[in-house]
Amino acid sequence: MIVDVITGAVRYGACVVFAAEGETVSERSGVVNLGTEGSMLTGALAAFAVTVWTGSPVIGALAGLLGGALPALLHAFLVIDRNADQLATGLSVTFLGLGVTSALGTGFVDEKISGFDPIAIPLLSEIPFFGDVLFNYDILTYVALLLGPALWWFMKKTRWGLILRATGESGDVVYAYGHSPRKVRYMAVTAGGALAGLGGAQLVLASTLNWVENITVGRGFVAVALVIFASWLPIRAALGALLFGAAVSLQLQLQARGVNVSAFLLGMTPYVLTLVVLAIASRGQAQRMPAGLKAVFAPGGT
Amino acid sequence: MKPADAATLPAPGKTPTRRFDPRDLLASAGWMKWAAPIATPFVIWLLLPVFAIDQQAVITRATPFILTALAVALPARAGLINVGGEGQLLIGAAAAGAFAKFAGDGIPLIAMVPLMMLAGAIGGLLWSGIAATLKNAFAVNETISTLLLNYVATLFLGYLIHGALKDKESFGFAIGEQIPESARLPQFGETTVHFGILIAIAVTAGVWLLIERSRWGFKAQVVGGNPEAARRGGIPVGKTVMVALLLGGGIAGLAGAIELCGIETRLQTGMATGFGYIGFLCSWMVAHRAAWIPAGATLLAAISVYGDNLQIDLGLPASTVYILMAAIVLVVLAYRGSSTGKAISR
Q: How confident is the model at residue A232 (pLDDT cuts 50, 70, 90)?
A: very high
To which H or E segment does residue A61 belong?
Answer: helix A57-76
- A222 Cβ under 8 Å from any chain B Cβ: yes
Nearest C-alpha neighbor of B147 from the set A16, A87, A210: A87
* Angstrom distance (rounded) from CA B317 to CA B321: 9
pLDDT, one tens digit per residue, over B62-91 is 999 999 999 999 999 999 999 999 999 999
Residue B17 is predicted with a pLDDT of 63
> What does the pLDDT average to over B254-267?
94
- A90 Cβ under 8 Å from any chain B Cβ: no
Helix orientation angle between A57-76 and A86-105, rounded to the nearest 10 degrees: 140
* Angstrom distance (rounded) from CA B232 to CA B160: 46
pLDDT reading at A256 higher than 60: yes
Residue B337 is predicted with a pLDDT of 67
Q: How confident is the model at residue B28 (pLDDT cuts 50, 70, 90)?
A: low
Contact between residue B246 and residue B128 where contact means Cβ atoms under 8 Å apart: yes
Nearest C-alpha neighbor of B76 from the set B219, B295, B255, B244: B244
The CA-based angle B174-B176-B181, given to 5 degrees, is 150
Q: Is residue B73 situated within a structural domain?
A: yes
Residue A201 is predicted with a pLDDT of 95
Q: Is residue B4 situated within a structural domain?
A: no
Pairwise pLDDT comparison (B226 vs A132), residue with the higher score: B226
Range of the domain at B130: 62-272
Which of A83, A180, A278 lies at the smallest CB-CB distance from B346? A180
- The region, left, alpha or beta by phi > 0 then psi within -120 to 50, assigned to residue A232 is left
- B345 Cβ under 8 Å from any chain A Cβ: yes
Close Cβ partners of B2 (under 8 Å, ≥ 6 residues apart): none
Residue A298 is predicted with a pLDDT of 61
Q: Is residue B38 situated within a structural domain?
A: no
- A74 Cβ under 8 Å from any chain B Cβ: yes
Q: How confident is the model at residue B344 (pLDDT cuts 50, 70, 90)?
A: very low
- Closest residue of chain A to B284, computed from CA coordinates: A88
* B100: amino acid identity, one letter: A
* Cross-chain residue pair A102–B330, CB shorter than 8 Å: no
Q: How confident is the model at residue B255 (pLDDT cuts 50, 70, 90)?
A: very high
CA atoms within 13 A on the CB side of B317: 20
Contact between residue A43 and residue A201 where contact means Cβ atoms under 8 Å apart: yes
pLDDT, one tens digit per residue, over A94-134 is 999 999 999 999 889 888 888 888 887 777 777 777 777 77
* Cross-chain residue pair A221–B144, CB shorter than 8 Å: yes
* Angstrom distance (rounded) from CA B25 to CA B170: 58
pLDDT reading at B4 higher than 80: no
Pick among 3.40.720, 3.40.50, 1.10.3470, 1.10.10: CATH of A2-297: 1.10.3470
Strand, helix or coil for residue B328: helix
**Local structure of residue B104 (DSSP, 8 states):** -
Residue A95 is predicted with a pLDDT of 95
pLDDT, one tens digit per residue, over B32-69 is 778 888 999 999 999 999 998 999 999 999 999 999 99
* B51: amino acid identity, one letter: F
The partner residues of A120 in beta bridges, in order of sequence, read A136
Q: Which residues of B are less than 8 Å from A34 in CB distance?
A: 143, 147
Q: Is residue B317 situated within a structural domain?
A: no
Q: Which ipTM did the prediction report? A: 0.92
Length of chain A: 302
Contact between residue A195 and residue A19 where contact means Cβ atoms under 8 Å apart: yes
Pairwise pLDDT comparison (B296 vs A288), residue with the higher score: B296
Among A63-67, B102-106, B277-281, the least confident range: B102-106
* Angstrom distance (rounded) from CA B84 to CA B97: 20
Distances in whole angstroms, Cα of residue B262 to Cα of each of A38, A104, B252, B307, B332: 33, 33, 15, 21, 32
Longest dimension (CA), chain B: 88
- A171 Cβ under 8 Å from any chain B Cβ: yes
pLDDT, one tens digit per residue, over A63-95 is 999 999 999 999 999 999 988 889 899 999 999
pLDDT, one tens digit per residue, over B113-122 is 999 999 999 9
Q: Is residue B41 situated within a structural domain?
A: no
pLDDT, one tens digit per residue, over A155-184 is 999 999 999 999 999 888 999 999 999 999
Q: How confident is the model at residue A145 (pLDDT cuts 50, 70, 90)?
A: very high
Length of chain B: 346
Q: Is residue B144 situated within a structural domain?
A: yes
Domain residue ranges of chain A, discontinuous segments joined by +: 2-297
Q: How confident is the model at residue B226 (pLDDT cuts 50, 70, 90)?
A: confident
Contact between residue A72 and residue A79 where contact means Cβ atoms under 8 Å apart: no
Count of the separate structural domains present in chain B? 1
- A39 Cβ under 8 Å from any chain B Cβ: no
Nearest C-alpha neighbor of A105 from the set A182, A180, A212, A262: A212
Which of A95, A185, A225 lies at the smallest CB-CB distance from B277? A95
pLDDT, one tens digit per residue, over A260-291 is 888 899 999 999 999 999 998 888 777 788 88
Strands (E), chain B: none
Q: Is residue B107 situated within a structural domain?
A: yes
Quote the percentage of chain A above a pLDDT of 70: 98
> Is the CA virtual torsion A84, A85, A86, A88 positive or negative?
negative
